[in-house]
Structures are given as C-alpha cells and as structure tokens.
Structure 1
Amino acid sequence: MGDAVEREVARAISSCRAMITEYCAWNEKRVHGETFSTMYGDIFEFVNIRMETAESCLLLLENDKVADSLGLSRSLLEHYLLFLLMCRGNKYFQLVDLSGENLSEGQFKVRLREEQKKLDALRAEGKSHCLEVRKYRRAKHRLMYVFEGLKDTVDPDFLIPLHFFQYQQFRPDVMRLKDENYFQYYEDEADIKKVLRDNQNGEAWRYKNYLSYDALLQCLELNNLATPAVMHRIEAHYTFLGKFLHPTNGAARDLHEQNNWHSGESGVGIGQPYTTRAKLLAALYLCYSMASLLQEVTGLTDRAPRKHYADSGTADLWSAIRSVSVDFPYFWFLFNDAPLYDRYLYCIHHASAEDLAEWGGYEGVPLEKVPFNQHIYSHFSDSLNGWSNIRWGSYLPAVRHRGQ
C-alpha cells in the first residue's frame, strides 16, 4: 500500500504541474477582442500570485515539508473564497444600523416587515433597484439591503462584483496602525487626524463586512454560491488547514510516523518522517485549490463579452482542471461529490436493508444524505484502507486499486 500511495503523491504533483503549464500556455491561446478591460488584467495578476503560492507548496512537498505546505494551502483556500466573490459575487449589500433606537426583538421584526413592504411598493412602481431587505445575521438590529451588480459605465450589461473593488482598495495598514504610534516628521493637524480616523473606520468596516473570513461566508451565502452543506465543508477545511498556519499544539506531529515518540533533541522538525498519507493529503489540497482557482478564471474569461475576448482559448486548461476531480475523486473538497468511502461509511452506520434494496449498493446512496466528516486527516487516512461489511459488501480504495 505504501508504494501505491507514493505513486499517487507523484500523480497529484504531476497534475499540479500540468495545470501550471497549461495556465502559462494559455497566453498564446486567448484571442483578444477590439477592446481590453483592465479588470481582466487585474484578475490574471491575482491568479498569477496564487500560482506562485501553489508552486511554493509544490517545492515544500517535494522537500517533505508537509505541514508548511498545508499552512500555505490555507492561504490558497481563503483567496479562493474571495476569488469566487470577485468573479461571481454579483450581489452586494448596504447596512442600516437600528441599534441606536433600542428596539426590542419584536419591534425590530415589525420594523423589518414594514421596510420589506415599503420596498415591495417601490419595486412595483419601478422606483428602486434594491432586490430585497433582510435581517443582517452577523450583528443585532441591522437591516441589510441587497442590490445586484456594479454596472460598467460603458457596458451596462456587464456586471463587476463589488468584491473586486473591495479587495483592490483595502489597506490593512490604514485599518490597524495609528500614525501617532509611529515615526512622523511632524504632528498632524486636528482636521487631518479626523480624516485619518474616518479612513481607519472605513477600512475596518470594509474588512468586517466584505473581506474577513466571516464576511466571505456571509457573502457566499448571499450570492447563492455555497449551500449550507458546502459551508460546513468550508469550515472544516479552513479549520484543519489553519492548524498549520496558527499556533496549534501537536498539529504537525500528528502527521508523522510514530507520532507519539519524543526524542527531546534539538533539530529541524521531528526526527520521524511524515506519513505518505499526509503527503498525499497535502498534494490533493493543492490540486483541488489550484483547480478551483483556475476554474473561476477560465469561467470568467469564457463569459467575457466578445469585444474583450474573441476566443477565450480555454479548452486545454479546462481539460487539466477537470482531470482533478476525475483522477482524485476520493478527496472531498468543497463542490465535488461525496467520495465512495463517505457513502460507504454512511450506509454502514445509518442506512437500512430497505435502503440497500432501493439504492442497489452504497454507490447509489442519495448524495445529499451523506454528511462531511470533520476529522480530516484520520478520515482521509482510513479511506485509503480496504473495508468489508456483511450488508454493504467491500470497499476497495481507488489508490490501492491503481497500485495493484
């Protein structure tokens, strides 16, 4: 089994390299139209930098730095969530804060219904472009007015997601750092200090409502880009990968052979090697993260008006992207179907003989019934083993099948 997993690691790394190659070759296959939008140039630059991060992950993997590769993959995941909204997040919102009115929960609900009725009347008269008004879930007593798109001044049918601009304009230094705490050539005047405070508050609002992790989830939900089940998977992957980015005791140790053995000696890392299964997991995170990012940029280019791209030239790149879910279906990322092992496990513990008769085997279980397993590494490692059950038969992992 060890040799089979090692070969699978090589296949996953090769798939990542193939996507980078096709992405770089894409330059010669796109045919520009009569006009060029700088938005696309900025989008490509965003992806280019992510591909640099992906290549760093590959270098780490090829040098057996598995935990560090997983930590960088958390960065890729977070950028992917943002990129989803930059490419397809056509809905945005404005907030009205009612917290200063000291409304009870019942009064707030009445006020919300009143605002919804007002909006319905305005929309019926064609006097409002607001799509809806709803309760803002992330803070008490705030109304969220939802709008669609930021229209291009030249091409009104061309919508540009607000996250594109929020990302470009965000200044973390302005949000976090106060000038008076650092070197200044001269002290700012009172009116300048007020402007700086307003700028700081504006950047904090931008981050809190559009760019923070919680805000990204809120906006994905708003734009119907992630179902509740997908949200749960995002949370699980984000939390798991975050253990290798933020201080978490034992996170890297758990990925090593004989991880309960402590030498007490100084050195680089732990003396025991990483398991090949941990390395495969890291490689698959990279595969799926890259494929997800590239899927969004190819889709965006395919949807571009012909005046921007006469031919998007994405066929070869799409082929490399789609091969990931075909070649590695046993890793459950965000939007792919539940792997066979998860279906098998669900059926063993939750399905009946009647279900077996209806579905014809664990492969036929309705996918919406299968929950995600939050224990990422141990569950993934178990999925690489063969299993047998009296009612549901045998499960043979794809990795072992290829290795035979």
Structure 2
Amino acid sequence: MSELIAAEVARVNEATRSMISAYCAWGAQIQHGETQLFTHTQLLEFVNLRVETADSCLLLIENGKIADALGLSRSLLENYLLFMLMCRGKKYFQLRDLSEEKLTGGQFKARVAQEQERLRELRREGETDCIEVKRYPRAKDRLMYVFEGLKMKDNPDFIHPAHLVHFQEFRPEAMRLKDENYFQYYQNDKETKKVLQGHVDAEAWRYKHYLSYDALLHSLEINGIIDTNINARIEAHYTFLGKFLHPTHDAARDLHNRRNWHFERTSIGLEHSYSETSTLLASLYVSYLVAGLLDEAATLIEGAPEKYIANAGTPELRKAISRVSRDFPYFWFLFNDPPQYDRFMYCIHHVDPEDVRSWGGYSNVPVVDVPFNQHIYDNFQRSLNSARTTLYSYQSPLPGMQ
C-alpha cells in the first residue's frame, strides 16, 4: 500500500474511532428532564448495535478483509435508512386496494380526483387526520392515504414514528416459516390455521410496505428526507455494497491488486492483497455511515421537548461528527455536495467553457447539475490522481498524489 493512501486510511479510521468514542461518552452527558421517554432509550439502543457493526467493519479493514467490510457496510446502510425514518418519519401511509374494481386508467384517475375532493371536505369539517390521497406509485391499482404521525395521547405535540412501531413488531419467522414444515407439539385446527395465516399476511404486508428496501425509499420520499437525486445515490451505493453481500462474480476479485492473476493453490481469499484504494473506500463508507447515524441520534435528542431532555450534551459529539464531511469531502455519499473530481469531469464533458468561466471555474458549477457516477470504485480510484486538460486542472485530494 502506498504510504500516502496508507496514511489517509489511518486518518479516516481514526476519525471514525473518535466518533465512536465521543458517542460512547455522550450518554453520560445527556441531562434528562422531569420525565424520561422510553422511545429515546430504544432509539439509542438501536444506534448502539449499529456502532457495534461499525466497530466490526473497522476490525475487518484493519485485518485486510475488505470485501467483508463492504458487505457489512451494506447492512449498516440499510439500517441507516431505517433509522432516519424512525427519527424523522413523521408521515405514514395506508393503502386501499381497488384491483377488484378493474378500473381503466381514466377511471382510476377520476377516482383519485374524487377521493381528493372528499378528503378536502373531510379536512374542512375536521373529520379526518389524513393529509393527502394519491395513487400509490408502486402499484397501479392502489390508493395511498398519507397521515401525519402516531400522536401520543398524553403529549399530542410529540409524533411517534410509525417505522419504529413496525420495526419493533416485525417477526420475519412469522412471515416466512410455515408451522406445518417444522416440529409442533400438536397439530393446529382449521380455525387456528386461519388465524395464523392472518398473521403471515399481516407480516408480509408490513415488510412489503414499510421495511423492505423499496418501501424505505418510498417512505423517505414521502417524508421529504430524500429527493430524486439522493435516491439515485442511495441506489448506486446500495447496489455496489450489495455485490459483497450477495453472490456476485468477481466483485471481490476486482478490488485486489493483480486482479487478473489466477492460481490453483488453496488459501484464505486470494493470494494478492486488496488494493490500497479499496481499503480507503471501505474506511470512508464506515466513517460516513457512522457520521450519519450519530447525526440522526444527536438531532433527535437536541430536538426533544425540555420535559424529556433538559440538555442534549452534544458539543463534543457534534465536533467529532463534523470532521468527516470537512476532512473527507472527496467521497460522495448521500447528502454531501459533489466532490471536486465529479465537478471537473462534468464540466469537461458537458459544460460550455464560457459557462465555466462565468462561474469562476469548475469548482463553482451548480451542484444540482452534477450527476452521480454509478461506477463507484473506478470513479473513486481515478479521483485520487491529479489530472489536467487544456482547459482545467484537477488536484488530488491526497497531497503528493500525481
């Protein structure tokens, strides 16, 4: 591993360890109000387990198990998406299946308009908590009714996110495993089987509409947490990391030095080490994921009513979190602005030089215009090297890299 990239890997991992240390010390700095809300305890325990996963990723990276660290990071990413909804998912939805009515496209559109008018009347009369009705985008024959939060009876201003409830109540074994295929002390009668099938259907519905990957993205959009561009970045990162979690030909091999060399000898992994670039990329994934999770947790506690949290005690934690986006802006994750390399490449291939000059250089290109590069590893690898064209020059984020 080159000394420059090795030093950067150490710097990134140290930043992640600093965040974890600050998070572990944070609990003692939180000053609770007159009443303690169990929801906060549950959500922080969720983060505790994700921090454990991040710590495992660091151990894998330090021991040269890069593909495994990336695969485990996919799990962290999915949990991060869910955690955003458990903290900020104020809106939830219910579906109405109209498939039995066999409506044409025009008839369905008219039904949507009819339901929207009916909703406006009910809202004027104060007879519904529903805030919106429209076609469910993931099924052509369903209406989606959007509601705002699960409000607590003793504190109507506090909204209990529906995703926390669904996460806590979901039982995958009830959805996937049929009792008749496994040991039973006694056979269920017909009525019991019918009830149990109802549980199976309910769990399948919960997973499909709230906890599956597609459902998480849909709920994030409903709650205004992500937009189309962020959605595209999530899809790219999720797909890339998923290659190391699910069987994907040559996914791990492509991260190795001398990746085209093949041997008949048996060994733990391949004989050649993972590339320095893949090691740095894995470290950045862990760092950004930890920063995202801890930012959500800190924001949650900072925004809690004073009767629950008298003092959030987040200054040191915030200091540790902010270091990631400040010190490592060359990795384009979910919510940060496009790095200089992506701006450079976009301007070379898609922008009139006169426009670039009017902005004062490619660094000032409107960030909303810069598209994400789906080829994450190759693009990241190229971004570590300086580049020059007849019009612009790009400097590596690692001093000394050419």
Q: TM-score range by the shorter chain?
A: over 0.9
Deviation at 1:19, TM superposition (A): 0.7
Aligned position for 1:344: 344
Give distance in 2, aligned partners of 1:387 and 1:5.
18
Which consecutive unaligned segments of at least 5 residues does structure 1 have? none
1:399 aligns with 2:390: no
Cα displacement (A) at 1:232:
0.2
Partner Cα separation in structure 2 for residue 59 and residue 180 of structure 1: 42
**Residue deviations 1:78-103, cap 9 Å, x none?**
00000000000100001110000011
Shift of residue 119, structure 1, vs aligned partner: 0.7
How far does residue 309 in structure 1 lie from its aligned partner after superposition? Answer: 1.0
Aligned partner of residue 158 in structure 1, secondary structure:
strand
In the TM superposition, what is the alpha-carbon distance from 1:106 to its structure 2 partner? 1.0
- 1:61 is aligned to 61
Kindly report which structure 2 residues correspond to 1:298-313, keeping only aligned pairs within 5 A, or say none: 298-313=298-313
Q: Partners of 1:396 and 1:2 in 2: how far apart? A: 18
TM-score (norm. length: structure 2): 0.99
Distance 1:383 1:153 in 2: 53
Q: How does 1:318-357 map to 2 (within 5 A)?
A: 318-357=318-357
Tell me, in whole angstroms, the C-alpha distance in 2 between the residues paired with 1:209 and 1:356.
44
Aligned letter for 1:124? R
Distance in 2 (CA, whole Å) between partners of 1:306 and 1:353 is 54
Does the 8 A contact of 1:91 with 1:146 survive in 2? Answer: yes
Q: CA deviation at 1:307?
A: 1.1
Q: Give how far 1:190 is off.
A: 1.4
In 2, Cα distance between the equivalents of 1:54 and 1:217? 22
1:28 counterpart = 2:28: yes
One-letter amino acid of the counterpart of residue 397, structure 2: A
Aligned residue type for 1:37: L
Contact 1:85/1:219 (<8 A) preserved: yes
Q: TM-score, normalised by structure 1?
A: 0.98
How many Å separate the matches in 2 of 1:332 and 1:53? 22
* CA shift for structure 1 position 32: 1.0
* 1:160-214 CA distance string (max 9 Å, x none): 1100100000000000001111000100121111111000000000000000000
Give matches, 1:33-44, under 5 Å. 33-44=33-44
Matches of 2:300 and 2:244, distance apart in 1:
32
Distance in 2 (CA, whole Å) between partners of 1:80 and 1:133 is: 28
1:255-334 to structure 2, matched below 5 A, reads 255-334=255-334
Partners of 2:115 and 2:308 in 1: CA distance: 41
One-letter amino acid matched to 1:318? R
Correspondence 1:242-257 to 2 at 5 A: 242-257=242-257
Amino acid at match of 1:34: E
Select between 356-365 and 61-70 the one with higher mean Cα deviation: 356-365
2:91: which partner in 1? 91
1:105-254 map, 5 Å: 105-254=105-254
1:372-383 matched pairs, under 5 angstroms: 372-383=372-383
Q: Aligned-pair distance for 1:128?
A: 1.8
Question: Percent of pairs identical after alignment?
Answer: 56
State the distance in 2 between where 1:199 and 1:265 align. 51
TM-superposed CA distance for 1:400, in Å, is 2.7
Please list the CA deviations of residues 269-292 of structure 1 after superposition, one character each: whole Å capped at 9, or x if unmatched: 000111111000000000000000
Distance 2:244 2:56 in 1: 15
- 1:52-107 per-position Cα deviation (integer Å, ceiling 9, x unaligned): 00000000000000000000000000000000000001000011100000111111
Partner secondary structure for residue 398 of structure 2: helix
Report the Cα distance in structure 1 between the residues aligned to 2:32 and 2:129, rounded to whole angstroms.
33
How far did residue 336 of structure 1 move?
0.3
* Aligned-residue offset at 1:397: 1.2
3-state DSSP of counterpart to 2:92: strand
Q: Describe the SS at the equivalent of 2:385.
A: coil
**For residues 146 and 31 of structure 2, what CA distance do their matches in structure 1 show?**
36
Measure the CA separation in 2 of the matches of 1:210 and 1:153: 24
2-side partners of 1:397 and 1:122: how far apart? 59
Distance 2:2 2:152 in 1: 55
Q: Give the letter aligned to residue 396 of structure 1.
A: Q
State the one-letter code of the partner of 1:40.
H
Give 2:182's aligned amino acid. Answer: Y
After TM superposition, give the deviation of residue 125 of structure 1 in Å. Answer: 2.0
Determine if contact 1:134/1:145 at 8 Å carries over to the other structure.
yes
Q: Which moved more, 1:33-42 or 1:278-287?
A: 33-42
Equivalences, count = 402
Letter in 2 for 1:278: S
1:246 offset after TM fit, Å? 0.2
Query: What do the CA deviations read for 1:283-312 (whole angstroms, capped 9, x no partner)?
Result: 000000000000000000000111111100
1:358 alignment partner in structure 2: 358
Contact conserved, 1:384 with 1:400, CA < 8 A, in 2?
no
Counterpart-to-counterpart distance in 2, 1:106 and 1:337:
41
